[in-house]
Structure 1
Amino acid sequence: MSTRRLRQSRNFSRAATIAATVALSIVAFSTPIAVAGPLADFYDAPVATLGTATPGEVVRSRPVNSPKGFGLGFDIERILYRSTDTHDLPMVVSGYTMTPTAPWTGPGPRPVIAYAPGTSGMADRCAGSAVLGTVGSSPAILPLLLAGYRVVATDYQGLGTPGGHTYLNRIASGRALLDVARTADVEPTTPVVLFGYSEGGFASASAAELAATYAPELNIQGAYVGAPPADPTLNIDTLDNTGLGSAVLFAVDGMINAYPDRAAGIRDLFDSDGIAALDAAQNWCTTDPAASEIVRTTELTRDGRPLTEQLSNPVLAEITAANTVGRIAPAMPVYLSHAVEDDTVPIEQSRTLLGRWRDLGAEITYREYDLPAIPVEGANHQPGALAAYNDVMPWIAGLIHAGVEPAGTTR
């Protein structure tokens, strides 16, 4: 395939400069943003209008005092909005919006980035909207704001709002991302770009597959999909017997939370220690010490077999198949990227997804980053996100300012 040079906006050079040093923004945004009122009543108070709200309708909002930095001001709102779960039932999802206060100087309406965050845990306190302004929230968004884009971010189902987090559920996370884009009250011509890395990459990929049928009115120009754990089986196999194994517990808990009618059957695969571990993980954030302990599923299952061997069980087989990305061709261009040495989400995830999507005729720009390996478990995942920014930002600018860009070369 040939590659077209991407035309850049006037704002891009500034954004790219900051993107190259995005890690420095962690310092600037490490002080939590002040909350206007108690959080509990915002998240937990019943939403009387849920039954009549339409997907993407904001049912509650609250302004957040925002910091100033890098010569940029922006307005922030914490939001609750209506979405639709994997069983087609209405649900309330939390999230937030960030809008630069400076006027948009590019063509047409201000572009909207529908942002899907990476894994933060299972407890409500881990939600991105609950930790606005801390290390876990703003740094990755800063280059997007500097480019002048409006960012609308989802917390996903059950992360912040009542109910359990449906971790790595294709339908729930994809719909939550599409519906948070709808919260921006976009015009028919407003460019929308899906954006996510890690769990966020999974959500962005899921949304890209679902957009044509679930949100056809959105003018989605493209989707950035970074290091997606697209296949649940490979995800569990990689993280079992490691200090990153809390994500295995998160994955099982996500199934239990998403499919309550099958919860008993799933839990029955585990012994008392396994059930205790699953229950404990429902209250973890990834920053908790317990989330870094080694998890060996052979010590948690009832029959002593690893969890990957249990995935052919009728209880789990249908669930894992339903939550594997790559069965539907996205209707928009996709930028798929991955670090070669990623030890959290192995690069085979993206290589397999690339093959599946291209076999279906999707337009994919694919990039692998061969970065120096870091001899610390789990340390080779995030560098792939930082490395991608200098390529992804001009790709997004090209979509927005030069029209939909055909797929580039595989590098």
Structure 2
Amino acid sequence: MVGCAVDGVRRILLGVVVAVAAALVGAGPAGAEPVAFPIPDPDPFYSVPADLPARAPGDVLRVRPLPPSYYFPGSTVWEVLFRTTDSLGRPIAANSTFVRPANHVPDGPLVSYQHIINSLGTKCKLVNELYTTDPLHQIREAAGLNLALARGWAVALPDHLGPRMAYGAAKLGGQITLDGIRAVQRVPELQVAGSPVGLGGYSGGGMATAWAAALAPTYAPELSIVGAAVGGAPLNLVKMGEALGTDAHPAFGLAMAAALGLEREYPKRILVTEQLNAQGRLLKQRIGNGCTNEIMFFGLGRSAAEMTDNTDFMQDPQAWEVLAENSVELYPGVPEAPLFEWHSPTDTLIPVDSIEATMRRYCDAGLPVQSLLTPTPDHLSAAALGLPQGVAWMDARFRGEPAPSTC
């Protein structure tokens, strides 16, 4: 369900990122420097068909088998391109990697796992990093996924940042996740058309998972989701932005990346690029198509205040509205599938009180929620410590056992 987060600073996740990024996003005068969209993936598999607007969410656009991956020995791998919806309700194409172990039975369990992607470049998509030989671009969550595959569960791995690599757009991740499930279940050779579905993810991936669970009753009510395992998820981006402000931070590169990613998704409501000074433009140039390591390196110890000469950049209401729209705590919907949720009670990278408030609201609505407080002081070790319980919890859901609750 969740890979071991052992990479130190490299695994400072989307929660911190968007929080600091809140200080940088803001509206400015029209007609300035254009939004910095990513270099398109040159693979023709991702080209958008002309009839995309006529397709329904989850419709399959293309399918192809992929070579065996050394991350998942003995498993068969496919890639599926499908129609989904962006944050403004427009049709877009997204992709998901499907991994089926040799011991999977037709219509056996299917897990959609939302990785921690933390990138702006299309070269950093999960499906691309699955086959790279670059040691700096390894899939760090493969160990946890192999625990699922060993049980015979098929796994869908959506690139939940979408074709614009819109890092920071959390609600988008939930929609792509749900449409990715729809898509793989519509491909007969994948043998999961009637599979029960579980959701899983940690931190930034946990946020996409939490959004998918919350949106499912209205966005994809036909899916048979038996449970969602959500770890260390930042559920209120507004609160994080207010807390962290403009101070220098070791993960500021990721903060800048989230600001640029949100601008890509909301180009008329959040204008970052045109506010940048010379330092900001240089950093944008360096990270605009970068993966996590480049982003972390070039942004180490920087701050939002260094990136702009606009002293009022924290005052724009549209930026805060966008963060609110991407905060699960502020979304009124309640999942229908039971939840397993875990986090460190002393996690300083995410607002723990937002997790508690959201789970309390779900409990009050009658949803079975099992919460686990890991005996660890930090965000990173909590990922691994919650893994065994999360896998066991999901296994029980697939067996049809009633969901326990700590409400």
The verdict on a shared fold, with TM-score over 0.5 as the criterion, is yes
8 A Cα contact 2:120 2:289, kept in partner: yes
- Residue 82 in 1 paired to residue 93 in 2? no
2:257 paired residue among 242, 250, 254: 250
Q: Deviations over 1:286-315 (max 9, x none)?
A: 12252551131222243447x7xx1x5222
2:355 paired residue among 338, 343, 350: 350
2:382 paired residue among 377, 381, 384: 384
For residue 114 of structure 2, what is the amino acid of its counterpart? Answer: A
1:7 is matched with none
- Residue 409 in 1 paired to residue 398 in 2? no
For residue 337 of structure 1, what is the amino acid of its counterpart? Answer: W
Query: Larger relative CO (CA 8 A, sep 6+): 1 or 2?
Result: 2
**Aligned-partner Cα distance in 1 for 2:326–2:43:** 33
8 A Cα contact 1:188 1:219, kept in partner: no
**Aligned-partner Cα distance in 1 for 2:6–2:62:** 29
**Aligned-partner Cα distance in 1 for 2:236–2:308:** 21
Q: Deviations over 1:73-109 (max 9, x none)?
A: 21101222111111111111122000112243xxx83
1:299 is paired with a residue of what secondary structure?
Answer: helix
Decide whether aligned partners of structure 1 residues 349 and 227 sit closer, same or farther in structure 2, where only a CA change above 3 A counts.
farther
> Gapped runs of 5+ residues in structure 2?
8-40, 132-137, 187-191
For residue 42 of structure 2, what is the amino acid of its counterpart? Answer: A
8 A Cα contact 1:60 1:81, kept in partner: yes
**Aligned-partner Cα distance in 1 for 2:117–2:353:** 19
Higher mean alpha-carbon deviation, 188-197 vs 216-225, is at 188-197
1:284 is matched with 290
8 A Cα contact 2:169 2:262, kept in partner: yes
**Aligned-partner Cα distance in 2 for 1:83–1:303:** 36
- Residue 225 in 1 paired to residue 230 in 2? yes
1:221 is paired with a residue of what secondary structure?
Answer: strand
8 A Cα contact 2:260 2:273, kept in partner: no
2:220 is matched with 215
Measured after TM superposition, the shift of residue 404 of structure 1 is 4.6
1:171 is matched with 171
1:129 is paired with a residue of what secondary structure?
Answer: helix
Measured after TM superposition, the shift of residue 389 of structure 1 is 1.2
> Gapped runs of 5+ residues in structure 1?
1-14, 27-38, 374-379
For residue 58 of structure 1, what is the amino acid of its counterpart? Answer: V
Identical-residue share of aligned pairs (%): 24
- Residue 47 in 1 paired to residue 49 in 2? yes
For residue 291 of structure 2, what is the amino acid of its counterpart? Answer: C
2:267 is matched with 260
**Aligned-partner Cα distance in 2 for 1:316–1:219:** 35
Measured after TM superposition, the shift of residue 48 of structure 1 is 3.8
**Aligned-partner Cα distance in 2 for 1:179–1:344:** 30
- Residue 197 in 1 paired to residue 199 in 2? no
1:165 is paired with a residue of what secondary structure?
Answer: coil
Decide whether aligned partners of structure 1 residues 351 and 110 sit closer, same or farther in structure 2, where only a CA change above 3 A counts.
same
**Aligned-partner Cα distance in 1 for 2:4–2:328:** 30
8 A Cα contact 1:50 1:91, kept in partner: yes
Measured after TM superposition, the shift of residue 222 of structure 1 is 1.0
8 A Cα contact 2:335 2:367, kept in partner: yes
2:322 paired residue among 319, 324, 337: 319
**Aligned-partner Cα distance in 1 for 2:65–2:146:** 19
- Residue 206 in 1 paired to residue 211 in 2? yes
Decide whether aligned partners of structure 1 residues 291 and 114 sit closer, same or farther in structure 2, where only a CA change above 3 A counts.
farther
**Aligned-partner Cα distance in 1 for 2:71–2:252:** 37
Measured after TM superposition, the shift of residue 370 of structure 1 is 2.0
1:76 is paired with a residue of what secondary structure?
Answer: strand
**Aligned-partner Cα distance in 2 for 1:58–1:205:** 24
**Aligned-partner Cα distance in 1 for 2:371–2:277:** 42
8 A Cα contact 2:166 2:262, kept in partner: yes
**Aligned-partner Cα distance in 1 for 2:261–2:230:** 21
For residue 176 of structure 2, what is the amino acid of its counterpart? Answer: A
Measured after TM superposition, the shift of residue 276 of structure 1 is 4.1
For residue 178 of structure 2, what is the amino acid of its counterpart? Answer: L
1:241 paired residue among 242, 248, 273: 248
Question: Within 5 A, what are the aligned runs for 1:97-136?
Answer: 97-104=98-105, 109-132=107-130, 134-136=138-140
Measured after TM superposition, the shift of residue 351 of structure 1 is 2.9
Measured after TM superposition, the shift of residue 244 of structure 1 is 1.3
Measured after TM superposition, the shift of residue 401 of structure 1 is 0.3
8 A Cα contact 1:271 1:301, kept in partner: yes
1:150 is matched with 154
2:113 is paired with a residue of what secondary structure?
Answer: strand
2:53 is paired with a residue of what secondary structure?
Answer: coil
Measured after TM superposition, the shift of residue 63 of structure 1 is 1.8
Measured after TM superposition, the shift of residue 348 of structure 1 is 4.0
1:8 is matched with none
8 A Cα contact 1:166 1:257, kept in partner: yes
TM-score, normalization by structure 2: 0.78
**Aligned-partner Cα distance in 1 for 2:352–2:6:** 27
- Residue 140 in 1 paired to residue 144 in 2? yes
**Aligned-partner Cα distance in 2 for 1:103–1:317:** 45
TM superposition outliers: structure 1 runs of 4+ over 6 Å: none
Measured after TM superposition, the shift of residue 346 of structure 1 is 5.0
**Aligned-partner Cα distance in 2 for 1:125–1:145:** 26
Measured after TM superposition, the shift of residue 204 of structure 1 is 0.6
Q: Deviations over 1:191-224 (max 9, x none)?
A: 1111111111110111111101110100111111
**Aligned-partner Cα distance in 2 for 1:333–1:139:** 25
**Aligned-partner Cα distance in 2 for 1:232–1:25:** 24
1:331 paired residue among 320, 326, 336: 336
Higher mean alpha-carbon deviation, 180-189 vs 137-146, is at 180-189
**Aligned-partner Cα distance in 2 for 1:369–1:346:** 16
8 A Cα contact 1:193 1:396, kept in partner: yes
Higher mean alpha-carbon deviation, 386-395 vs 51-60, is at 51-60
**Aligned-partner Cα distance in 2 for 1:85–1:175:** 8
Alpha-carbon RMSD: 3.0
Q: Deviations over 1:231-270 (max 9, x none)?
A: 1134444485221122221221122111122244x44555
| Count, aligned residues | 358
